[in-house]
């Protein structure tokens, strides 16, 4: 009997967690702004605490040029594992960071924009995000840090335009082009991105790298080379043989915690009541048999 109630509890717990993915994202019809004075305009699903901006739910952008246009420097945008979803494969920018300084974007799933992150700026950090199903994952033009992201199923994983960004410990998986340097016949200069963090830290994981690792240190023996239109090479000198283990934060709204706090005690009390009734019944029948 105890096992039956235990399985009931597990079923309720699983059902509650499964319903997480059935919740529709909050729809924002227009671009969301983080204004220069710190005010968030266009949604109530981003909570401000000083210079930190925390997602409290997924957001779907139905129209507008940008998903979130950032007008303030020196802030942290924490997606908390939620999703920022655009209107389509080639429309708008997910996070718009033109001329911004010291902005960190982390723990966010960004999908279905022309570019997931639009980054013509400097000294910003794009960390621990899942960037997928865009035309371009990141449009890079400046001096920024792009690390520990999963960049997958985009036409261009990163599109570099006169970029000097530092890019390492990312997983590039199933993009048509993982890294695209827009240099073009002298009219657009070649980018000079740093695509690794030296040895033994290593560079990025590229799913089409076909080199070997003869010494078993987890780093390819030969560089990962990317040729641009000017027939020049960008290179990751220390390509990783296996994907980087990146901590992803699952979407876990507070209402789920509340549901578990309500359901858990009910199941426990029900089990205790049924067990008590069974013990009383058993004792009663034992007394009858003795008599």
* CATH classification at residue 66: 2.160.20
Q: Are 235 and 225 in contact (CB under 8 A)?
A: yes
The answer on 279 and 165 residing in a single domain is no
The answer on 51 and 18 residing in a single domain is no
| Helix (H) / strand (E) containing 209 | none
The answer on 15 and 39 residing in a single domain is no
The answer on 272 and 205 residing in a single domain is no
The answer on 278 and 180 residing in a single domain is no
Give the range of the structural domain holding residue 149, as residue numbers without chain letter. Answer: 24-252
The answer on 51 and 17 residing in a single domain is no
Nearest 10 degrees: Cα torsion 31, 43, 107, 168: 20
The answer on 134 and 5 residing in a single domain is no
pLDDT at 187: 66
The answer on 248 and 132 residing in a single domain is yes
Q: Domain tally for the chain?
A: 2
Per-residue pLDDT of the chain (291 residues; tens, 9 = 90+): 544 544 444 444 444 444 444 444 555 558 999 999 999 999 999 999 999 999 999 999 987 789 999 999 999 999 999 999 998 876 799 999 999 999 999 999 999 999 999 999 999 999 999 999 999 999 999 999 999 999 999 999 999 988 999 999 999 999 999 999 886 656 677 788 999 999 999 999 999 999 999 999 999 999 999 987 767 788 999 999 999 998 755 554 444 444 444 555 454 455 465 555 555 555 545 544 445
For residues 171 and 146, give the distance between their C-alpha atoms in angstroms, rounded to a whole number. Answer: 11
The answer on 205 and 157 residing in a single domain is yes
For residues 202 and 211, give the distance between their C-alpha atoms in angstroms, rounded to a whole number. Answer: 14
The answer on 149 and 269 residing in a single domain is no
The answer on 205 and 89 residing in a single domain is yes
For residues 269 and 279, give the distance between their C-alpha atoms in angstroms, rounded to a whole number. Answer: 15
Q: Are 62 and 42 in contact (CB under 8 A)?
A: no
The answer on 175 and 270 residing in a single domain is no
How does the average pLDDT of the chain come out, rounded? 82
């Amino acid at each position: 009997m105890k096992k039956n109630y235990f399985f009931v509890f597990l079923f309720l717990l699983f059902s509650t967690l499964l319903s997480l993915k059935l919740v529709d994202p909050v729809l924002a019809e227009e671009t969301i702004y983080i204004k220069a004075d710190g005010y968030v305009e266009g949604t109530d699903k981003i909570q401000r605490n000083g210079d930190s901006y925390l997602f409290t739910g997924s957001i779907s952008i139905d129209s507008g040029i940008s998903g979130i246009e950032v007008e303030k420097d020196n802030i942290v945008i924490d997606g908390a594992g939620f999703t920022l979803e655009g209107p389509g494969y080639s429309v708008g920018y997910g996070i718009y960071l033109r001329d911004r300084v010291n902005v960190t974007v982390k723990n966010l799933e960004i999908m279905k924009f022309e570019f997931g992150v639009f980054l013509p700026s400097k000294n910003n950090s794009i960390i621990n995000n899942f960037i997928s199903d865009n035309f371009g994952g990141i449009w890079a033009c400046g001096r920024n840090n792009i690390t520990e992201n999963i960049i997958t199923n985009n036409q261009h994983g990163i599109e570099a335009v006169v970029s000097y960004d530092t890019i390492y410990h990312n997983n590039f998986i199933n993009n048509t082009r993982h890294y695209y340097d827009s240099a073009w016949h002298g009219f657009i200069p070649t980018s000079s991105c740093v695509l690794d963090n030296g040895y033994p830290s290593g560079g990025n994981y590229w799913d089409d790298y076909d080199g070997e690792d003869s010494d078993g240190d987890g780093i390819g023996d030969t560089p990962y080379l990317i040729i641009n239109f000017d027939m020049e090479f960008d290179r990751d000198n220390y390509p990783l043989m296996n994907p980087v283990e990146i901590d992803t934060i699952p979407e876990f709204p507070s209402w789920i915690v509340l549901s578990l706090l309500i359901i858990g005690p009910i199941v426990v009390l029900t089990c205790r009541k049924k067990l008590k009734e069974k013990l009383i019944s058993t004792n009663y029948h034992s007394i009858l048999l003795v008599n």
